Chains A and B, each alone.
Chain A
Amino acid sequence: MHIVDRRLNPGGKSFANRQRFLRRAKDMVQRAVRESTKDRGIGDLDQAGEVTIPVDDIREPTLRRAGSGGKRDIVLPGNRQYVEGDQIERPPSGEGKGNGREGGGGDSEDAFRFVLTREEFLNIFLDDLELPDLAKRRMAVTETHGIRRAGYTTSGSPANLALGRTLQISMSRRIAMKRPKSSELEALEAELKALEAEGGAPEAIQALKDEIETQNRRRARIPYLDPLDLRYRRYEPFPKPIAQAVMFCLMDVSGSMSEHMKDLAKRFYMLLHVFLARRYKHVDVVFIRHTDKAKEVDEETFFRGTETGGTMVSSAFVEMKRIVEERYDPTIWNIYAAQASDGDNMSSDAERTMRLLRDDILPVCQYFAYLQVGDPGGHMGFMQHQGDTTLWRTYMTLQRAGTKFEMRRVQRREDIYPVFRQLFQKRDAAEGASP
């Protein structure tokens, strides 16, 4: 008899099968994931979760008899009351007829529930989204090189001399060529001295002298350090991708922004953060809120705190520009910005906002998304309904100018994700879709 402990075998044996299954059911899982995100709170957006999909495409059909029809015999255990010849009223459905194998089995399974891991959930959730201009950035980034060690070379600048390696090689050469060690030589000298002191035989002294002579010649011929031994540290440049991103959240917190609007904005920022975190090793988030003055705050204050005042969007841009200059060098940071606002802005500020955005903000950003939030099905004024707010009008000109800048309107919670998708869907798909 053998006992085999299989517990240590690598787990995830069915991983390949699971991947095949998810691929097979991809469309349906995607739909289910999107549905389920509607009900999820902001906090657990990127958690593992259960999804339910219809069994349509993952059905495994076999030739089997229908659940009903035809004359059937069923033998059941546990008779208490019936005697031969009794008539029993037919139960309403196939169910309850008893025999699970023949009674109503099979037809009822129209939904399939299972659990997706966090990784799978996000993968599917963000599957066909692409960071804007990511490809371009990647190529641009290749130009910034890092330098890393890459073994040794026989030539190089003295500053790069690899001392340890050089001595190692010199030592092996010395051993191979039998270069006498200084300790051996000293021993011989000492022996000679002792011999001379006690007045030994002259032949012996002469022999010893000859020996020392030979050894000294050997030492002179075989150098301690030969140019052949020299080794230099080799360096090679390598492309260093920028694996860090910073996300600027700009939000108008003036009195006209309702809680609902802030919630919409928050959801959008959440999505953006999850999205960026998938692509970059390190994502910083900077929250800038503004009324007529802008200020960098922490997350809590950003969403909770209220402030009164007028609205000057340009102030936020000034603040953002300052922070970028101070902390986020555009050559090593990927900069994303998302602005949420109800669209109010002082008309006197339009010109300045425009200039700042065009000349200072957009050039350093990978992407700038403007999200105009409104109340749900709100009885908004005519102007707002058209989206024709001050800010919207200001930005309209920009949108035509470049692709880095996108703007959308959102009013209801469930619109957030579609809008997000529109903004970030893969470029080629977007181009194909738009006329």
Chain B
Amino acid sequence: MTVQLQTGRLLFEGNDWDFATIQRIHDAVAEIAEKDLKLDTFPNQIEIITAEQMLDAYASTGMPLFYKHWSFGKHFAQHEAVYRKGLMGLAYEIVINSNPCISYIMEENTATMQTLVIAHAAFGHNHFFKNNYLFNQWTDPDGILDYLTFAKGYVSSCEERYGQPAVERVLDAAHALMPQGVHRYPRKKPLNLKSEEKRERERAELQERMYDDLWRTVPNAKDGGKARQLRDDKRRALLELPQENLLYFLEKTAPRLAPWQREILRIVRNISQYFYPQMQTKVMNEGCATYTHYRIMNILHQRGQISDGSYLEFLTSHTNVVRQPVFEDPYYNGINPYALGFDMMSDIERIATDPTDEDRAWFPDLAGRGDPMEQLKEIWRNYRDESFIAQFLSPNLIRKWRLFHIEDNPDEPNLSVNAIHDDRGYRNLRRLLARQHDTAWLSPDIQVVDVDLEGTRRLVVHHKVLRNMLLQPEDTARVLQHLADLWSYDVVLREVDFTTDAVLKEHHAKARPGIFA
């Protein structure tokens, strides 16, 4: 911080706030966000809630309205018990990726905290939601609240018509398969007549060009296995197999489900898909929001819009948020996405404005380019956690965090340290940390590969096993039971080694008759 420019009046004094204060804070923060940081955000809607309502929001994955299910009641009871004992503080805010962007802020926050929270959620997260490519690709912020309203109404009307237990069974099964209810890659758009015709014409032209009567005279290979192979391929193509989205597959092809059951599977699948980008951008999203609030709070302080006391209060909570305990610390609970995100954003700012020779060697495109905000916005737009870390984790930061890599190989008696923060270790550490944030790597790769349509209608599901990491057996049996019930015929899950295709383990489940009658 340089000189204190006394250009503004204090936005508030003391801890108390009222709606006029919130409005003033929002306007001041908005001005900085637009003029100084040039953020691009959805319009904001700020909602003030109580602790109980915050617990409500926790229970229903942060969404303001959700269909009813016992598991939300369970989570509420769990959070409430922990909260009552004082073991857990509640989040200061929850923000929803919708248009307008809804931020929930807690009533017991002080005025300083409300400023921090507005800067963090209503501008930091908001900018990220609006601009990141994953969110653009997968979520529809204009429609999400309407969709949730629809989902809630639909589920409760199903409960009225078919009874709570029947609906609950479908939801239980669908929730068990929820992580397998996302499309990980964009699918091709449905074809329209025009492009279809064009393709057909091109194909015909190609065939005419390629035509040579000679091919007719080439003797055929043995035709025995081929017909069968063709039939299998055709069947798989018709069923769009292999299919990674289990819920989608069941919704479209499960033979015995009623239309309303399919619709419920669809609802669960859509909600799962909506959250998929958030899972992939935790570090970036929090990093973006934390960096933004840090910048905004500093500017507010420099302009004399918040007092020194407020600024210190802000620093205290900011420091708590970006604290990263070391691995031996009893509080260590994995890498703190706020800490990693904020440190990386600050590091990028440093590289852009004040690079060392090392930075120039590692980040030739970024080092010394100036205007860190533009660089960061570019990054926020085009990366997710995995690619972001793989690209921008600098040796400087690896040294600061003193990262090291441990390999846990069950065949060896000991754990071995394979890389530390030195020249040989940087690239390895960066690659491994990136992979540690790659959802595609973290979640097991499970796909429907085939259905025995001519015989028992058995569904064949494969788990491509990476490095011998098998599925947790009890839970797998439970989920498989749900899957079999939905499919209504037997299901086999084969754990297949990724490289050798050897079957390591098989799980079977038989459909219980009458569960989804």
Contacts and interface: CB of A to CB of B under 8 A. Distances in A.
Contact of A101 (B84, B403, B442): B442
B466 to A, nearest CB: 8
A64 B415 contact: no
B178 interface: yes
A73 B435 contact: yes
A59 B74 CA distance: 10
Interface in A276-311: none
Given A3-B48, A50-B81, A78-B326, A24 B70 contact: yes
The residue among A9, A18, A85, A97 with the most chain B CB atoms within 10 A of its own CB is A18
Contact of A79 (B179, B404, B466): B404
The residue among A6, A50, A63, A72 with the most chain B CB atoms within 10 A of its own CB is A63
Interface in B7-49: 19, 22-23, 26-27, 30, 43-49
Given A70-B470, A87-B414, A99 B81 contact: no
B414 A21 contact: no
Interface in B70-91: 70-74, 76-78, 80-81, 84
Contact of B401 (A16, A22, A77): A77
Given A64-B471, A86-B416, A7 B48 contact: yes
A74 B408 contact: yes
A2 B50 contact: no
A23 B424 CA distance: 58
A114 B56 CA distance: 15
A65 B435 contact: no
Contacts of A101: 334, 442
Given A4-B45, A69-B410, A79 B420 contact: yes
Contacts of B471: 63-66
Contacts of A434: none
Contacts of A58: 70-71, 74
B444 to A, nearest CB: 6
B473 interface: yes
B178 to A, nearest CB: 7
A79 B414 contact: no
A85 to B, nearest CB: 7
A76 interface: yes
A61 B78 CA distance: 17
B324 interface: yes
A6 B73 contact: no
B413 interface: yes
A47 to B, nearest CB: 15
A114 B78 contact: yes
Interface in B428-447: 429, 432-433, 435-436, 442-444, 446
Contacts of A13: 53, 56
A429 interface: no
Interface string B456-478: 00000001011111111111101
A1 B23 contact: yes
Interface stretch (A105-113, A231-239, A318-326): A105-113
Chief secondary structure at chain B's binding surface = mixed
B470 A69 contact: yes
The residue among A24, A60, A62, A74 with the most chain B CB atoms within 10 A of its own CB is A62
Interface in A48-102: 50, 58-80, 82-90, 97-101
A50 B84 CA distance: 11
Contacts of B50: 6-7, 11
B418 interface: yes
Contacts of B207: none
B73 A22 contact: yes
A430 B40 CA distance: 70
B417 interface: yes
A77 B46 contact: no
B162 interface: no
A74 B406 contact: yes
Chief secondary structure at chain A's binding surface = loop
B420 to A, nearest CB: 6
B287 to A, nearest CB: 16
Given A4-B47, A77-B327, A67 B472 contact: yes
B415 A115 contact: no
Given A70-B470, A84-B425, A9 B178 contact: no
Contacts of B421: 79
A72 B408 contact: yes
Nearest to B106: A7
B45 A75 contact: no
A128 B404 CA distance: 59
Contact of A78 (B48, B84, B328, B474): B328
Nearest to A113: B81
B408 A3 contact: no
B402 interface: yes
Interface in A22-63: 22-25, 50, 58-63
B479 interface: yes
B175 interface: yes
A142 B177 CA distance: 54
A17 interface: yes
B468 A69 contact: yes
Given A64-B444, A65-B472, A90-B413, A73 B30 contact: no
Given A60-B71, A71-B409, A82-B404, A6 B53 contact: yes
Contacts of B69: 17, 20
B86 to A, nearest CB: 13
A66 to B, nearest CB: 4
A140 to B, nearest CB: 36
Nearest to B435: A73
A19 interface: yes
B379 to A, nearest CB: 21
B335 interface: yes
B417 A61 contact: no
B403 A79 contact: yes
Given A18-B77, A71-B467, A114-B80, A84 B442 contact: no
A17 B332 contact: no
A250 to B, nearest CB: 42
B472 to A, nearest CB: 4
A431 interface: no
Contact of B402 (A17, A79, A87, A114): A79
A20 B70 contact: yes
A113 B104 CA distance: 28
Nearest to B65: A13
A114 B324 CA distance: 30
Contacts of B452: none
A14 interface: yes
Contacts of A79: 327, 402-404, 420-421
Contact of A75 (B179, B404, B444, B468): B404
B138 to A, nearest CB: 20
A9 B53 contact: yes
Given A61-B474, A63-B444, A88-B417, 4 more contacts: A11-B52, A65-B444, A89-B415, A97-B408
Q: Which 9 A-B pairs have the closest CB atoms?
A: A78-B326, A21-B73, A70-B469, A17-B73, A114-B77, A61-B478, A20-B70, A70-B468, A79-B404
Interface of B: 19, 22-23, 26-27, 30, 43-50, 52-53, 55-56, 59-60, 68-74, 76-78, 80-81, 84, 100, 104, 107, 164, 168, 175-180, 324-329, 332-335, 401-410, 413-422, 424-425, 429, 432-433, 435-436, 442-444, 446, 463, 465-476, 478-479, 482
11 contacts: A1-B43, A3-B47, A17-B59, A21-B77, A59-B475, A60-B71, A64-B475, A75-B405, A75-B432, A76-B406, A77-B324
